[in-house]
């Protein structure tokens, strides 16, 4: 262990069997996002720093202390993306797209924080953005997608927490009211909350230490203007109609500044760490304008894959092989031919060094988890191989050209 082979603090190497769960989760995501009509969108892993400063918000925790920022050789300030929404909106604007557009992404994000269960410096998010419309139906559809995805994966106790933060005018008035309400009670606030109050009063609503006091505070959803209020109602009506359960959480706020109107989070019951949010999102009608483009409404969500997998437990490490090929002495080339032929036929198959003892090869076959082991031996000269079902030890000879179909039955 002399040379340092560990990955950097807060990052992980993910190998089998854990990586099998990752494959399943990522495939499930691709499936659901396609079913909902989202095309794949890929943006750079790093961006100009000011994109995040303007997009995510100068007063947010993310921008103030969590960004991986460095200067490149061309003296540009570059930041590893701490989230993906600002990039996707930038890409939409840059491509000159008119009107509605739906994109899905998947990839690593970076935030400089003290690592903890369910909180890494490099973590994986999947998400979608639906731009160019302010219809509440789009909000409901985004929320439904995340819900279906989590339920399909088998996450236990999924619930959707829903709130509305109002339109910018509602929010300005509300924040002023909240600020004076909190300032009047500053003596009772925790020191952390008092600091937060100066920078961003709404985030005080998130303070765990002040939960009791906060429960008395005015809530954003109680101060909605007509437009936001009607939209909030419609989102709820639509969620009811498609059978997505949710609970209204009046004091739910989000850590990023760009949210307007709809804000939501997914929480699960099986995560036994302090981090309970599996995903979240909302509407951000002012974001495009803030990062320097035209005014384009949008709504989106982001899901934390690391946390979702944590909450899944390690139960389902599905076997990745259908068959394992072993060979007796001198049958190396025949065995290699069989492996190649099966792979071309769509069978997931592997072998180890076929010149090793049959015992060693069978041991590897057993460990691989493959249901069947195929023995290339003297039967090969008669056009067959011996197939052994590992679970019960039964063996039968199978014609070489029939193996692929035999394995599927």
Partner RNA sequence: GUGGCCGUAGCUCAGCUCGGUUAGAGCGCCUGGUUGUGAUCCAGGAGGUCGCGGGUUCGAAUCCCGUCGGUCACCCCA
Interaction residues for RNA, span 36-75 (CB under 7 A): 60-62, 66
Helix, strand and coil content of the chain, in percent to the nearest 5, comes to 40, 20, 35
Least Cβ distance, residue 385 to RNA (angstroms): 8
| Burial grade of 376 (CB within 10 A; 0-12, 13-18, 19 or more) | buried
Contact letters (x/-) for RNA, 130-169, by CB under 7 A? ----------------------------------------
Nearer to RNA among residue 1 and residue 241 (C-beta): 1
Rounded to whole angstroms, the Cα distance separating 296 from 98 reads 10
Q: Is 187 in the site for RNA (CB under 7 A)?
A: no
Q: Is 171 in the site for RNA (CB under 7 A)?
A: no
For residues 256 and 111, the answer to whether their CB atoms sit within 8 Å is no
Nearer to RNA among residue 320 and residue 358 (C-beta): 358
Nearer to RNA among residue 255 and residue 293 (C-beta): 255
Q: Is 6 in the site for RNA (CB under 7 A)?
A: yes
Q: Is 117 in the site for RNA (CB under 7 A)?
A: yes
In a 3-state reduction of DSSP, which class is residue 369? coil
Omega before 151 within 30 of 0, i.e. cis: no
Residue among 94, 273, 340, 355 that touches RNA (CB under 7 A): 273
Least Cβ distance, residue 364 to RNA (angstroms): 7
Which strands, in side-by-side order, build the sheet including 372-376?
A: 349-350, 323-327, 372-376, 384-389, 395-399
The pair of three-digit structure tokens given for residue 398, joined into one six-digit string: 């199978």
The pair of three-digit structure tokens given for residue 278, joined into one six-digit string: 């599996």
Helix (H) or strand (E) holding 340: helix 332-344
For residues 126 and 284, the answer to whether their CB atoms sit within 8 Å is no
Nearer to RNA among residue 267 and residue 296 (C-beta): 267
Q: Is 18 in the site for RNA (CB under 7 A)?
A: no
Nearer to RNA among residue 171 and residue 203 (C-beta): 203
Nearer to RNA among residue 64 and residue 76 (C-beta): 64
Q: Is 399 in the site for RNA (CB under 7 A)?
A: no
**CA distances to 8, 62, 292, 356 from 53, in Å:** 25, 9, 12, 59
Neighbouring residues of 329: CB distance < 8 A, sequence distance ≥ 6: 355
Stretch of 88-96, 166-174, 186-194, 343-351 contacting RNA, by CB under 7 A: 186-194
For residues 211 and 189, the answer to whether their CB atoms sit within 8 Å is no
In a 3-state reduction of DSSP, which class is residue 353? coil
| Residues in binding contact with RNA, number by CB under 7 A | 75
Q: Is 324 in the site for RNA (CB under 7 A)?
A: no
The pair of three-digit structure tokens given for residue 20, joined into one six-digit string: 């099998």
Nearer to RNA among residue 75 and residue 360 (C-beta): 360
Q: Is 199 in the site for RNA (CB under 7 A)?
A: no
Binding residues among 371-390 for RNA as defined by CB under 7 A: 373, 375, 377-379, 386, 388, 390
> Degrees (nearest 5) of the Cα angle 317, 269, 312?
10
Going by C-alpha positions, the residue among 264, 261, 382, 371 that lies closest to residue 319 is 371
Stretch of 149-157, 161-169, 251-259, 283-291 contacting RNA, by CB under 7 A: 251-259
Residue among 28, 328, 351, 372 that touches RNA (CB under 7 A): 328
Least Cβ distance, residue 5 to RNA (angstroms): 11
Residue among 18, 58, 395, 401 that touches RNA (CB under 7 A): 395
Binding residues among 294-323 for RNA as defined by CB under 7 A: 302-304, 306-307
Rounded to whole angstroms, the Cα distance separating 101 from 32 reads 17
């Amino acid at each position: 262990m002399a040379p340092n082979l560990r990955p950097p603090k807060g990052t992980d190497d993910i190998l089998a069997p854990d990586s099998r769960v990752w494959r399943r989760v990522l495939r499930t995501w691709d499936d659901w996002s396609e079913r909902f009509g989202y095309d794949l969108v890929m943006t750079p892993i790093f961006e100009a720093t000011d994109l995040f400063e303007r997009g995510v918000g100068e007063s947010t925790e993310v921008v103030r202390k969590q960004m991986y920022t460095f200067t490149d050789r061309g003296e540009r300030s570059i930041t590893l993306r701490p989230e993906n929404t600002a990039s996707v909106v930038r890409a939409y604007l840059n491509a000159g797209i008119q009107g509605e557009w739906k994109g899905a992404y998947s990839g690593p994000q970076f935030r400089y924080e003290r690592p903890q269960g369910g909180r890494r410096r490099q973590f994986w998010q999947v998400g979608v953005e639906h731009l160019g419309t302010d219809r509440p139906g789009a909000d409901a559809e985004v929320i439904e997608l995340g819900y279906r995805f989590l339920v399909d994966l088998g996450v236990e106790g999924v619930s959707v927490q829903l709130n509305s933060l109002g339109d910018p005018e509602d929010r300005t008035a509300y924040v002023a009211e909240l600020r004076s309400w909190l300032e009047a009670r500053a003596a009772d606030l925790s020191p952390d909350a008092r600091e937060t109050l100066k920078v961003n009063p709404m985030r005080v609503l998130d303070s765990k230490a002040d939960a009791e006091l906060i429960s008395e505070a005015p809530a954003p959803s109680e101060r909605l203007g007509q437009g936001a209020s009607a939209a909030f109602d419609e989102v709820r009506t639509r969620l009811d109609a498609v059978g997505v359960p949710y609970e209204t959480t009046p004091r739910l706020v989000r850590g990023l500044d760009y949210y307007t109107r709809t804000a939501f989070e997914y929480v699960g019951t099986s995560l036994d760490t302090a981090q309970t949010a599996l995903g979240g999102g909302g509407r951000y009608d002012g974001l495009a304008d803030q990062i320097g483009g035209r005014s384009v409404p949008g709504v989106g969500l982001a899901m934390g894959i690391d946390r979702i997998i944590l909450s899944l437990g390690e139960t389902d490490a599905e076997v990745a092989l259908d068959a394992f090929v072993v060979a007796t002495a001198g049958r190396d080339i025949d065995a290699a031919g069989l492996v190649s032929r099966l792979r071309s036929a769509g069978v997931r198959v592997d072998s180890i060094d076929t010149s090793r003892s049959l015992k060693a090869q069978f041991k590897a076959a057993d460990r691989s988890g493959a249901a069947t082991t195929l023995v290339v031996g003297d039967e090969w000269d008669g056009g067959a191989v011996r197939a052994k079902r590992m679970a019960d030890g039964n063996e039968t000879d199978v014609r070489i050209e029939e193996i692929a179909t035999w394995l599927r039955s």
